[in-house]
Amino acid sequence: MSNIRDIAVVGAGLVGSGWALVFARAGYSVRVYDPSDEIRNRILPWAKESLSELENTGLIEDPQAILSKITVHDRMEHAVDQVVYVQESVFETVAAKTEVSLALDAVIGPDTLVGSSSSGIPASRFTSECKNRGRFMIAHPVNPPHLVPVVEVVPAPWTDGDAVDRVVELMHEIKQVPVRLTREIDGFVLNRLQGVLLNEAWALYEEGIASLADIDATIAHGLGLRWSFMGPFETIDLNAPGGIDDYAARLRDLYAGMVRIPPPGAWSDDVIRKAAEERRAALPADSLADRRAWRDAILGRLAAFKKSEHLSG
């Protein structure tokens, strides 16, 4: 990247605020913009609390120095003036992202790159009219990005290869783990993989094969333990004496025979309503924020462990 050490974050909900911590933690001065007064007012208190938690888990050493690098702005053009990179994290609709992309296109500098946090909408659907569209792309994180490092970098058909190289380099620099896709596909990689699992989980629940709690336990205390530090291909490579080809020879027919595309009953209104009732019985709505804080604390400790074991990618 360039010698400029200024980054802009446009859209400061849960994802955008997490991005602000990521960049500030890496030494960048971060200018955060959001059109909402309420959101702007809560950014710094939230960041202060989150940085304290990161310090407690050993992931950072000087929370105040990091916090001092974050400034909040009420005008987008001021936030993005002469920055090297903009991380756009506005509402996940084509209309919202088109509006913001066009507004950014009109005010960014000649070398500024723009990454969108879009979780599944390709950049080609909202940057086609941008005159600087060669510098726009997807940089999709996992929520919360300051605790989960993977970032999917996805070019539109017109994104410059050099621009993609520079964003991948930036993600490495800030200690995220970039996954570079060669071209657009709806849902990218992460949500396509997650979608297959969720489709089957909904179908198993709909058919009464297992409860929500037992399906969650299968991942949390089974597959998820391995997947927290290995992907599916390395997992199966180690799960047969002769490696991945041996695994495929043993179990290919089993997997091919059980796959249902799409599984019947997945995502139906009735099953979603039933699942919501079951979840709210287990965790009342007014406890969701506390449970998210618990999740983030666990993710922080896991991140610290992976860092200590050099498992961070």
The answer to the question of residue 14 being in a domain is yes
Averaged pLDDT score across all residues of the chain: 94
For 29-64, write each residue's pLDDT tens digit: 999 999 999 999 999 999 999 999 999 999 999 999
Q: Averaged over 77-89, what is the pLDDT?
A: 98
- Find out whether 157 and 182 touch, Cβ atoms under 8 Å: no
The answer to the question of residue 49 being in a domain is yes
User: Is the pLDDT reported for residue 258 higher than 90?
Assistant: no
- For the ranges 81-90, 220-229, 255-264, the lowest mean pLDDT is seen at 255-264
Domain hosting 71: range is 6-180
Please state, in angstroms and rounded to a whole number, the distance separating the CA atoms of residues 62 and 52.
9
CB atoms < 10 A from the CB of 255, how many?
Answer: 9
Residue 119 has, within 13 A of its CA and on its CB side, a CA count of 15
Asked which of 157, 180, 203 is the last residue of a domain, the reply is 180
- Find out whether 103 and 132 touch, Cβ atoms under 8 Å: no
Query: Residue 291 is encoded by which pair of tokens?
Result: 């449970």
Q: Averaged over 81-103, what is the pLDDT?
A: 98
CA torsion, ordered 214, 230, 189, 149, to nearest 10 deg: 100
User: Is the pLDDT reported for residue 287 higher than 70?
Assistant: yes
Asked which of 180, 214, 229 is the last residue of a domain, the reply is 180
Asked which of 118, 147, 180 is the last residue of a domain, the reply is 180
User: Is the pLDDT reported for residue 2 higher than 90?
Assistant: no
User: For the chain, how many structural domains are there in total?
Assistant: 2
44, burial (CB in 10 Å: exposed 0-12, middle 13-18, buried 19+): middle
Residues 256, 110 within the same domain:
no
The answer to the question of residue 48 being in a domain is yes
User: Is the pLDDT reported for residue 3 higher than 90?
Assistant: no
Q: Averaged over 250-277, what is the pLDDT?
A: 84
CB atoms < 10 A from the CB of 94, how many?
Answer: 12
Q: Averaged over 298-309, what is the pLDDT?
A: 90
User: Is the pLDDT reported for residue 304 higher than 80?
Assistant: yes
Q: Averaged over 267-288, what is the pLDDT?
A: 92
Residue 257: predicted pLDDT: 87
Residue 164: predicted pLDDT: 99
Percent of the chain past pLDDT 90, that is, above it, reads 90
Residues 228, 163 within the same domain:
no
Residue 264: predicted pLDDT: 66
Q: 266: domain CATH number?
A: 1.10.1040.10
Residue 308: predicted pLDDT: 86
Q: 20: domain CATH number?
A: 3.40.50.720
Residues 174, 64 within the same domain:
yes
CB atoms < 10 A from the CB of 257, how many?
Answer: 7
